[in-house]
Amino acid sequence: MFTGIVEDAGKVIRIERRGQEKRLTIELPPDLTEPQLGDSINVNGVCLTVVQKDKQRIEVDLSAETLQKPR
């Protein structure tokens, strides 16, 4: 369960299948450049870990177990 503070909202711009898992690419708002590799972020109420980052985009992985959970 996410218990942090929501600072802003990004936009999912890509969903990539990786076997039974998926990777999301999220475009960050212009004023939000703080997330670093290994940081946990809230994506629609799910806490995910940043695995890739560039200037205005981050990538997070969704495990098969996470994808099986009811929405």
| CB contact at 8 A, 29 and 10 | yes
Domains of the chain as residue ranges with CATH: 11-68 (2.40.30.20)
15: β partners? 24
pLDDT of residue 2: 57
What band does 3 get if pLDDT is binned at 50, 70 and 90? low
- Mean pLDDT confidence for 30-56: 87
Question: Token digits for 48?
Answer: 């995910």
Mean pLDDT score of the chain? 87
pLDDT of residue 46: 85
